[in-house]
């Protein structure tokens, strides 16, 4: 089983700033979110923990790993999409024209095309041992791309991605169970687990 986790909250998340590759640490609420995840999955059998190398994901993974004492494997392929010139700018202040440019011609903003994110996610997943129980701590944009990959495998179709995945809301600290062999992914609600 693979467990997918979005990092805890940062101040930039709170301020609705576009983070991308900018290296921002967790805020206090983000630390608490990571502790909540840690408490919920502390008794799971886990073989490996992978994390994006960016601080907000790495710090989340470190808190979760207090239960397991494993070597966290940092992997740049799990990074958030690089938003280029848009990083650090509050999203609500960006015009629809700017977002359209980002979504259709990201290179004009020194940003990363979504197909590049897909290629690095695919490369990462191709190296996993699906018989292991694995935690992956990553970012919202990367998680949307992982969801696309799980449901659509090797071929990237931007039209399908834009229609079904691009605007999927993924909260800080979101936690998903993913069965790659059966191509299923479901979000786990912590309140259900506590019942």
Active-site annotation, residues: 7, 80
Asked if residues 43 and 77 have their Cβ atoms less than 8 Å apart, the reply is no
Tokens 């979101």 locate to 174
Per DSSP bridges, beta strands 72-74 and 48-51 are parallel
What is each CA distance from 58 to 76, 146, 165, 195, in whole angstroms? 11, 18, 25, 29
Q: Tell me the DSSP string of 13-54.
A: HHTTB--TTS---B-HHHHHHHHHHHHHHTTS--SEEEE-SS
Q: What is the number of alpha carbons within 13 Å of residue 115 lying toward its C-beta? A: 10
Pairing of strands 134-138, 72-74: unpaired
Q: Give the tokens for residue 46.
A: 């886990």
Backbone φ and ψ for 3, nearest 5 degrees, come out as -110, 120
């Amino acid at each position: 089983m693979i467990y997918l986790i979005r990092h805890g909250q940062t101040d930039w998340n709170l301020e609705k700033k576009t983070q991308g590759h900018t290296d921002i640490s967790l805020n206090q609420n983000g630390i608490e979110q990571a502790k909540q995840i840690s408490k919920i999955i502390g008794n799971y059998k886990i073989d490996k923990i992978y994390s994006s190398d960016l601080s907000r994901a790495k710090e989340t993974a470190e808190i979760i790993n207090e239960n397991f004492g494993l070597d966290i494997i940092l992997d740049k392929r799990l990074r958030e999409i690089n938003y280029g010139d848009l990083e650090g700018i509050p999203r609500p202040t960006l015009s629809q024209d700017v977002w359209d440019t980002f979504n259709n011609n990201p290179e004009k903003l020194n940003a990363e095309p979504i197909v590049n994110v897909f290629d690095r996610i695919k490369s990462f997943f191709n190296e996993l041992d699906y018989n292991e129980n694995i935690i992956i701590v990553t970012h919202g944009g990367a998680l949307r791309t992982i969801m696309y990959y799980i449901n659509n495998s090797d071929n990237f179709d931007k039209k399908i991605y834009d229609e079904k995945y691009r605007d999927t809301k993924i909260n800080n600290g979101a936690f998903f169970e993913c069965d790659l062999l059966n191509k299923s992914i479901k979000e786990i609600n912590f309140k259900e687990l506590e019942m």
